[in-house]
């Protein structure tokens, strides 16, 4: 490897630390996914989309909402260091047995991708995702990572973050959501463009029931004390 390439990689690594450190104190006003959404509309000549997004501090997010997301997306979130090797192994074993190759991204990986990167499966993007995941886990608390995820995750067309999703789909602040409504929001996370929060399909309804059962199995909101 040439010295110039090594120097470039070193510069990239150093430059990437600053924005992650800033997240300790600064709430990101947008995300890479939201910016890409706007740019794609512009490129296609479509009207600029109105993006529903508002930041809600951790203290104002019901713990049931936070637990619903953990139960739905990453149940080992309090324990892993950014990568869930158990789920990775299970996903690979299912694929080897003839099943569909499914993702095993953690909440930390999803924050890295949605906040800083772009969609795709290239080796470069996956490498950057791994690097930013390590930075997030090393420089931020688990609570802060989860707070960021809850505020930038997509919950429907043009709708990002639990604050905007609660107002758009339930017509009230996120702080007033019931546990079932929290599970209903979490249920669409695998594909918020396909699944609807306010018009849940039978599949989404079954997933809501599963999430509620998992929340109880984890021990309720006390589970979040491990963060």
Q: Residues 38-60: pLDDT tens digits?
A: 887 778 777 766 889 999 999 99
Helix 3-22 vs helix 123-139: crossing angle, to nearest 10: 50
- Tens digit of pLDDT at every position of the chain (227 positions): 566 656 666 677 777 899 999 999 999 999 999 998 888 777 877 776 688 999 999 999 999 999 999 999 999 999 999 998 887 777 666 656 665 545 578 999 999 999 998 777 777 888 889 999 999 999 999 999 999 999 999 999 999 999 999 999 999 999 999 999 999 999 999 899 999 999 999 999 999 999 999 999 999 999 999 99
pLDDT at 113: 94
pLDDT tens digits for range 150-188? 999 999 999 999 999 999 999 999 999 999 999 999 999
pLDDT at 8: 62
pLDDT at 127: 87
What is residue 78's three-state secondary structure? Answer: coil
pLDDT at 5: 59
Quote the CA–CA distance of 56 and 166 in Å, as a whole number: 11
CA angle, 104 then 108 then 110, to 5°:
65
Output the CA–CA distances (angstroms, integers) from residue 23 to 53, 69, 127, in the order listed: 18, 21, 21
Q: What domains are there in the chain, each with its CATH number? A: 28-76+83-226 (1.10.3810.10)
Q: Which residues, including other chains, have CB under 8 Å from residue 48's CB and lie 6 or more apart?
A: 38, 41, 42
pLDDT at 190: 84
Q: Are 107 and 193 in contact (CB under 8 A)?
A: no
pTM here is: 0.91
| Helix (H) / strand (E) containing 53 | strand 52-53
Quote the CA–CA distance of 163 and 149 in Å, as a whole number: 12
């Amino acid at each position: 490897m040439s010295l110039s390439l090594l120097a470039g990689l070193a510069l990239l690594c150093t430059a990437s630390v600053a924005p992650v450190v800033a997240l300790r104190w600064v709430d990101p006003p947008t995300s890479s996914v939201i910016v890409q959404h706007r740019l794609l509309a512009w490129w296609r000549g479509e009207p600029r989309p109105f993006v529903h997004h508002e930041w809600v501090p951790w203290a104002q997010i019901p713990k049931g909402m936070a637990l619903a997301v953990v139960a739905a997306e990453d149940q080992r979130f309090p324990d892993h260091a950014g990568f869930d090797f158990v789920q990775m192994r299970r996903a690979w074993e299912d694929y080897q047995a003839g099943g569909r190759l499914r993702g095993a991204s953690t909440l930390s990986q999803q924050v890295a991708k949605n906040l800083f990167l772009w969609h795709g499966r290239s080796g470069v993007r996956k490498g950057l995702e791994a690097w930013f995941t390590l930075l997030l886990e090393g420089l931020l608390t688990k609570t802060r990572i989860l707070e960021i995820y809850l505020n930038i995750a997509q919950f429907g067309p043009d709708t990002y973050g639990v604050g905007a999703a609660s107002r758009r789909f339930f017509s009230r602040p996120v702080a007033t959501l019931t546990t079932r409504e929290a599970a209903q929001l979490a249920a669409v996370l695998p594909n918020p463009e396909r699944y609807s929060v306010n018009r849940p399909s039978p599949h989404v309804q079954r997933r809501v029931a599963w999430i509620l059962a998992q929340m109880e199995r984890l021990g309720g909101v006390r589970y979040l004390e491990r963060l």
